[in-house]
């Protein structure tokens, strides 16, 4: 296998990891006003992702860095053509991180409410725009013979891309609801479980429509297999959610997102950004790649550090694996329990 194909595959794996892990983070953030009936319950919800949200974002940073180093032409064209939506995503992620850090700094209801709004918006914007961005990459955008983006912002707001945004939005909402049902106990768990089944139905409808459209336009045999597996996993997750088997339901949504993203990259390959212009030149894994020497050095570094990062993140999830409930949240002015 050529190094360009290896790095295209690795970048696909990084995006799969990001969407599967950060996806439920976004879902929890967006569901904050729906499932959190008071400040204590909202604190429970935030604490379910508190130890892991920043680690989940590392997948995005590494995916961006790997794209910049392995496929600099792809990176340059992508960030010039998708500048505004990517800027909106970046700002949303920044203010979302600030909400996690600053929400509890001041003991004031208005202060916390404002940061909750920031967290909701900071989760909603990336959940929607990532789908819009990836749908446009698959559909193709106007790229000229010099690999320059020749369109405008409104070229990105086409029906296919908007359906992609709605699909990722509903998938992440359902993924987050299932995660909350898995990680909490008490009333939040019950409400999250009930909501998850309804969200999974909506996510399944949107996903089937989007993936079928993708398969008809740009799909291959391998992408069809991945999309079929994603649909089966999503239905299995819905059945498990109806039976209140939260662990299996979460596995179903996790696998569904992973296979759907894998199918999108399989449908895209060997292109990385196809053009819609008659005289344009599509970016491929060959003409957008860095030098062979660069790819060799990157491969050696990845072989050493990737297992370490995966082991550390796996250990983090294992340490914080237990459920959280309202009684685990210390109340204001509560007496401090001391050991006898």
* Spatial distance between the Cα atoms of 200 and 197, rounded to a whole number of angstroms: 5
Helix (H, G, I), strand (E, B) or coil at 269: coil
- Can you state the percent helix, strand and coil of the chain, rounding each to 5? 75, 5, 20
Cβ(290)–Cβ(69) below 8 Å: yes
pTM of the model: 0.92
Residue 211 belongs to a domain:
yes
Residue 332 belongs to a domain:
no
Residue 179 belongs to a domain:
yes
| 143 DSSP assignment | B
Residue 334 belongs to a domain:
no
Count of other CB atoms within 10 angstroms of residue 106: 11
* Spatial distance between the Cα atoms of 313 and 199, rounded to a whole number of angstroms: 28
What pLDDT score was predicted for residue 336? 45
β-bridge partners, 149: 143
* Spatial distance between the Cα atoms of 71 and 262, rounded to a whole number of angstroms: 19
Residue 340 belongs to a domain:
no
pLDDT per residue rounded down to tens, the chain (340 residues):
689 999 999 999 999 999 999 999 999 999 999 999 999 999 999 999 988 998 899 999 999 999 999 999 999 999 888 999 999 999 999 999 999 999 988 888 899 999 999 999 999 999 999 999 999 999 988 888 888 888 777 788 899 999 999 999 999 999 999 999 999 999 999 999 999 999 999 999 999 999 999 999 888 899 999 999 999 999 999 999 999 999 999 999 999 999 999 999 999 999 999 998 887 788 999 999 999 999 999 999 999 988 888 898 899 899 988 998 888 777 765 454 444 4
Residue 337 belongs to a domain:
no
Longest dimension (CA), the chain: 79
Distance from CA of residue 209 to its chain's centroid? 19
**Number of domains present in the structure of the chain:** 1
Angle at 130 between CA 128 and CA 135, to 5 degrees: 100
| DSSP codes of every residue in 163-179 | HHHHHHHHHHHHHHHHH
Q: Exposure string (b/e) for 64-97, b if CB count within 10 Å is 16 or more?
A: bebbebbbebbbbbbeebbeebbeebeebbeebb
Domain of residue 60, CATH code? 1.20.1630
| DSSP codes of every residue in 210-245 | HHHHHHHHH--HHHHHHHHHHHHHHHHHHHHHHTT-
Residue 331 belongs to a domain:
no
Q: Identify the domain containing residue 192 by its residue range.
A: 3-276+284-324
Residue 88 belongs to a domain:
yes
What pLDDT score was predicted for residue 106? 87
């Amino acid at each position: 296998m050529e190094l360009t194909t290896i790095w295209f595959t690795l970048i696909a794996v990084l995006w799969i990891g990001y969407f599967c892990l950060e996806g439920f983070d976004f879902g929890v953030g967006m569901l904050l006003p729906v499932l959190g009936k008071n400040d204590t319950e909202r604190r429970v919800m935030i604490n379910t992702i508190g130890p892991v949200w920043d680690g989940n974002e590392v997948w995005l940073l590494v995916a961006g860095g790997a794209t910049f180093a392995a496929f600099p032409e792809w990176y340059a064209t992508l960030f010039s053509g998708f500048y505004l939506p990517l800027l909106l995503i970046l700002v949303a992620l920044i203010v979302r991180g600030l909400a996690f850090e600053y929400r509890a700094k001041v003991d004031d209801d208005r202060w916390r409410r404002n940061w909750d709004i920031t967290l909701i918006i900071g989760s909603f914007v990336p959940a929607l725009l990532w789908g819009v961005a990836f749908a446009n990459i698959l559909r193709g955008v106007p790229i000229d013979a010099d690999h320059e983006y020749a369109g405008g912002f409104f070229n990105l707001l086409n029906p296919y891309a908007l359906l992609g945004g709605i699909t990722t939005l509903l998938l992440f909402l359902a993924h987050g609801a299932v995660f909350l049902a898995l990680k909490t106990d008490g009333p939040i768990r019950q409400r999250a479980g009930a909501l998850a089944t309804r969200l999974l139905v909506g996510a399944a409808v949107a996903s089937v429509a989007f993936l079928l459209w993708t398969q008809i336009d740009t799909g291959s045999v391998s992408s069809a297999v991945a999309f079929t597996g994603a649909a089966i996993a999503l239905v299995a997750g819905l059945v498990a959610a109806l039976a209140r088997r939260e662990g299996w339901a979460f596995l179903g949504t996790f696998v569904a997102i992973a296979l759907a993203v894998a199918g999108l990259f399989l449908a895209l390959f060997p292109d990385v950004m196809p053009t819609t212009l008659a005289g344009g030149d599509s970016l491929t894994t060959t003409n957008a790649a860095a030098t062979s020497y660069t790819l060799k050095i990157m491969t050696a570094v990845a072989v050493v550090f990737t297992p370490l990062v995966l082991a550390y993140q796996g250990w983090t999830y294992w340490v914080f694996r237990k459920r959280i409930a309202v009684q685990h949240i210390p109340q204001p002015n509560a007496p401090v329990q001391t050991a006898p």
